[in-house]
Structure 1
Amino acid sequence: MFTDINISQLFVFDQDEALDYVGKLGLEVHTDQDLGFMRWLTVMVPGHPEREILLERPGAPSMDEETAAQVRELVSKGVMGGWVGFVTDDCRRTYEELSARGVEFTDGPNEQPYGIDAGIRDPFGNKLRFVQPLAPQG
């Protein structure tokens, strides 16, 4: 059966703008390849090339333009699109660092039963969260 996840996907409307944004988040480019029919652009948490996030533009080859327009509208409203959760060792420090880089937050840092977390909505409407998990009790 399955042993891991290696690629997740987020819709972005402009891949170059997305690269600027993920740079603010401290992510790195894993693959940036022109396939002719699309640009295959993936990013990763530094040091973790086994897990990539595909930054995909809505449109060909996976959907026609009418459908792509509907997807862009729904993603921009924040009601559709991706959701990614990142892990950090220090949620409050990460919050301060990202705030200083101009990242806008939807909430946080907040104490939760599972740890401390914060929320971001990217320029396209995707929901991103990061959490500092509670230390294991033992």
Structure 2
Amino acid sequence: MDITIQYTFLPHTDAEASLAFYRDVLGFELRKDVGYDGMRWLTLGAPGQDAAVVLTPPTADPGITEEEGRTIAEMMAKGTYASIVLATTDVDGVFEQVQASGAEVAQEPIDQPYGVRDCAFRDPSGNMVRIQQPS
């Protein structure tokens, strides 16, 4: 089989703040910026890679009820709704740059028992962003 990852989705509560974080802080390139019915979807990816992250309004699916929307908002505020794991060859250097941007630090770089050194931040919408450096 020939299968690759095309997109992954993360919710956002503020398109401009999320764009600034993923583009200006993490260095992703903006590939698409789509607005519809008062909502906005942003597709970003690391330069030179096909896989992309789509930042999406968390309740854009018309099947989500009002109660589910409230639950999603509560989970996003706690940082327990969505996450992404990124990789780098210099987790300490990346940590310094992201921390300097004012991003909320969830975990400073540490060596994990499962063979990576990693750190974690929360993006402007509360999503957990883990950054790993394989051993």
Sort the TM-score into its range (normalised by shorter chain). 0.7 to 0.9
User: Where does the alignment leave 5 or more consecutive residues of structure 2 unmatched?
Assistant: none
State the shift of 1:65 in Å: 4.2
1:79 aligns with 2:87: no
Aligned position for 2:41: 40
1:13 aligns with 2:17: no
Identity, % of aligned positions: 32
Equivalent pair of 1:85/1:129 in contact (CA under 8 Å): yes
Output one character per residue of 1:100-130: Cα deviation in whole Å (capped at 9) or x when no partner. Answer: 2222211121012412110111222211111
Matched position secondary structure for 2:59 = coil
Aligned position for 1:109: 109
Aligned length: 132
Aligned position for 1:28: 29
Answer with 31-40 or 50-59: which moved more.
31-40
Equivalent pair of 1:37/1:60 in contact (CA under 8 Å): no
User: Where does the alignment leave 5 or more consecutive residues of structure 1 unmatched?
Assistant: none
Distance 2:32 2:7 in 1: 12
Normalising by structure 1, report the TM-score: 0.83
Equivalent pair of 1:115/1:131 in contact (CA under 8 Å): yes
Normalising by structure 2, report the TM-score: 0.85
Equivalent pair of 1:38/1:61 in contact (CA under 8 Å): no
State the shift of 1:35 in Å: 4.3
State the shift of 1:76 in Å: 1.0
RMSD: 2.0
State the shift of 1:4 in Å: 1.4
Distance 1:92 1:65 in 2: 41
